[in-house]
Amino acid sequence: MTDVREWIAIYLKGLAMGTADAVPGVSGGTIALVVGIYERLIAAVTAIDPDRIARVLAGVRASERPDARAAFREVDGGFLAVLGAGIGTAVVLVLSLVDGLLAAFPVATYGFFFGLIAASAVVLYGAVDLATTGRKAAAVCGFLAAFLASGYAATALGHALPVVFVSGAIAVSAMVLPGLSGSLLLVVLGQYEFMSGTLAAFLDGIAAAAAGEGAAGITGAVPTIVAFLAGGVVGLFTIAHAVRRALEAARAATLAFLVSLIVGALRAPVIEVSMRLADSGETWASAFPRFAAAALVGAVAVIAVDRHAGVLEY
């Protein structure tokens, strides 16, 4: 029987994972490794299947409640619920903060993200073996996929609900993969700033509704948030499973592809800063010192996490 202190510890670990998931370059899966819950998380997620979901939902009928409780325990439902609450709390708080930082200090904020991404790539490439032609090809494909998407997605994908749904599926699936950041994938897809802004608008809408000023802010943000979360649920049980199967079948090649995605994604924060400089009329020459200083801080943060973890690995 899990006592209150263990539930609090799980919630705090969820806060740590959520904080990592909300910033590009650091993976919540890596934090799960650091705090010692990665294997339990994977076991719980992979235990969820349609049959167990149906048994849990059937608990609305009194006669089915004993079996529903059993199914809930089989997927470690209490652990997932408390951990998810911690992750959700952190994501809301951090993305709200990031939304303000992007508005006030876009160059420094994206510079910090660049440093996080670059240091993650350097650390993780120590675990990549490119000894075969197939692995080298996988690395090239991963790099090109992220590099090209970083230039295209920022301007071409837009923010329609189907795009948000797919982005949610891709980003949330990365949560279970140490080293690969879901927020980084959102930056590559051109959805990170949009989603952080949507969440901030939703929270502002709640505050406005509580003050009796109407619920327009809430209703405007709800479709986007629901589409993202729905995509996340689908991604967690489809894409994440597919990637894990790929790691089991061809671990070295898959790892080369995933880490090379991170390298290719270094273009994304540079593209974002370039667009803001074009809008403001500022040049890279004047903005670069701020960008570089923030990047150094981000890199140091990742190196500190790596030293604590011993090694960032899949």
- N residues, the chain: 314
Q: Is the pTM value of this prediction over 0.85?
A: no
Question: Can you point out the beta strands (E) in 157-272?
Answer: none
CB atoms within 10 A of CB 194: 18
Q: Work out the average pLDDT over 92-99.
A: 85
Q: What is the pLDDT of residue 302?
A: 81
29 band by pLDDT with thresholds 50, 70 and 90: confident
What H or E segment, with its residue span, contains residue 137? helix 133-156
46, two tokens: 């992979």
Q: Which of 69-78, 85-94, 152-161 has the lowest mean pLDDT?
A: 152-161
pLDDT value at 314 more than 70: no
Mean pLDDT over all residues of the chain?
A: 85
Higher local confidence (pLDDT), 104 or 310: 104
Burial class (CB in 10 A: 0-12, 13-18, 19+), 232: buried
Higher local confidence (pLDDT), 3 or 59: 59
The Cα 241–Cα 248 span in angstroms is 11
